[in-house]
Amino acid sequence: MLNFVYYLPIYISIYLSIIYRSIFDDLSVIYLSIYLSLAISPLSIYLSIYFWRSLHYLSIYLSILSIYLSIFDLFILHSIYLSIYLSYLSYLSLISIIYLFILYLSIFILSIQTSIYLSIFGDLIYLSIYLSIYLWRSLHYLSIYLSIYLSIYLSLAISSFSIYLSIYLSIYLSIYLLISPIYPSIYLSIYLSLAISSIYLSIYLSIY
């Protein structure tokens, strides 16, 4: 059903160009070509909004995670590193969205100009329809490839950082747990030596 909705303006333009070609020769070709070019615009706008909202929610979740880690004193330094890393990822995502929007806009303007230019010549209407279909499919596949690449990049970046952080914390905690029992034993030995020394001193003073 979704493919039928996408290809509906193309079917209508082909039908009108064949049936009513003698009545609406040049004017219908221009209108239909502009309409087919405008059909690409909602897709590009929807994809831009979808990428922006996804990255926005991802940055919110990761910011909440960094705030949660900053509560603990041992994780303050790591939360600072994580915040810097997340700000860098947010900057990269913003640049990617801007580049993607500029690319969509340039392809959209190019499709409009090409369709208007081709619609001037009545014999090239089928070529203009084919070009509109090709541009639409190219934009569709391009958006899919970019979304997959961006998702893989973000997942790999976050997973590698979490692995490094977990390894560092495990090493730190193991060293801390290894050293921490030594300090009470040292304090206890000092306390016992002082107690024994005080006993010897009191015995010595009681004799003399």
Cα separation, 113 vs 54, whole angstroms: 32
pLDDT for position 44: 54
Residues with Cβ within 8 Å of residue 147, at least 6 apart in sequence:
47, 51
**Sequence-separated (6 or more) residues with CB below 8 Å from residue 134:** none
Using alpha carbons, list the distances in angstroms from residue 22 to 17, 28, 35, 52, 112: 9, 10, 20, 47, 24
The rounded distance, in Å, linking the Cα atoms of 67 and 208 is 67
Alpha helix segments (H runs only) across the chain: 2-19, 26-38, 40-70, 76-119, 125-179, 182-207
Tell me, what's the pLDDT at 207? Answer: 65
The pLDDT value recorded for residue 69 is 60
168 pLDDT above the threshold of 70: yes
Q: What percent of the chain has pLDDT over 70?
A: 12
Residue 39 and residue 141: Cα distance in Å, rounded?
16
DSSP assignment letter at 74: G
pLDDT at 57: 74
Q: What is the pLDDT of residue 1?
A: 45
Distance CA(109)–CA(40), nearest Å, equals 10
More confident residue, 125 or 6: 125
pLDDT in the model for residue 5: 45
Q: What's the CA gap between 68 and 195, in Å, rounded? A: 46
pLDDT of residue 75: 53
Q: For the chain, what are the domain ranges? A: 2-179
Q: What is the number of other CB atoms lying within 10 angstroms of the CB of residue 19?
A: 10
Q: pLDDT tens digit string along 27-60?
A: 555 565 556 555 555 655 565 566 667 766 776 7
Nearest-5° Cα angle at 64, 63 to 68: 115
Among 18-27, 43-52, 91-100, 162-171, name the one with the lowest average pLDDT: 18-27
Rounded Cα gap, residues 137 and 143, in angstroms? 10
